[in-house]
Structure 1
């Protein structure tokens, strides 16, 4: 089953949170809701999602603390700040810390959905436009989907191999779970799905990267796959 993008909503105001959840759900998105900073921190670092809508002022952990944790452990994660009017300095700080955009409360459903669509579109373009990845002995050109070796040989990548490697490169330094790969690269709901296709594609990539010792594409036991 093809899944719509999953969005994490972190907002401690119950009425605002429910309104956002309802608007996103009505638009076809999968939604995870966090009711305070503690849930926001936990879900932001452990759940599989494409975009985080993040309130800055929450109990237990502020939005800034969540942004800092993401910057350390989940680089490149798209985030839209939900900000109260008059918090310009906070919005600037949030953008400086890596947020992609902000929406000022109170906001209209139309504006929120437009900004969500824009950030998802940009993040999708960013994830597939990684031009090259260099490794010992060669480099990968993602535009041409080809591995170019230093000795002049080359090997082609399938579209799925290229997308998988690009996603791992985009998330370099972080173990990426099989469930996340199925959601974000294959567009599949991993719940109840048993498949060996990821292992097969990882094996093909290791062969094409001459990575028999798994120095490039590492298996992190119990967590997934990682490019360091």
Structure 2
């Protein structure tokens, strides 16, 4: 465990080490914690960030989450709630990819990664490289939540964060349309990330 008393110390610590979880206070001497968060995400550092702050307005919470925080906790809070949120972040960030074969099934729809296709009753769709890779990333986690920031960095590594976010939203809309009823298994967990439910491997 490491603590930083000022914004400058916090920025150096956040960027200098790959922490398991970062607890970020927004009201720091010498600066704003939001600037540290922006620098962290701009540097493609994707460790989980939990904001701790007295700024509890809805617009402020939304701003923090959209800026790249994985969770947001308003003061005052109990130690038990803080620990529960840290444990949840560790579980999510510790999700390990499980190797897949060439095909998986979502309900009645079969996804073929090599052919980049989705086929099922009344459905025969071609997938773009990003759409197929997005499905593979989520399928490898088997119903675990993958943070949006991680998905964006993996699929669009060379784009600014705001463009990455729009590209991901568009890819999700297209995928859900192409998958038909199975698109409901592609779940957005608000403020956290994405999850693919009901994945079955096809022999």
TM-score normalised by the chain length of structure 2: 0.47
TM-score normalised by the chain length of structure 1: 0.42
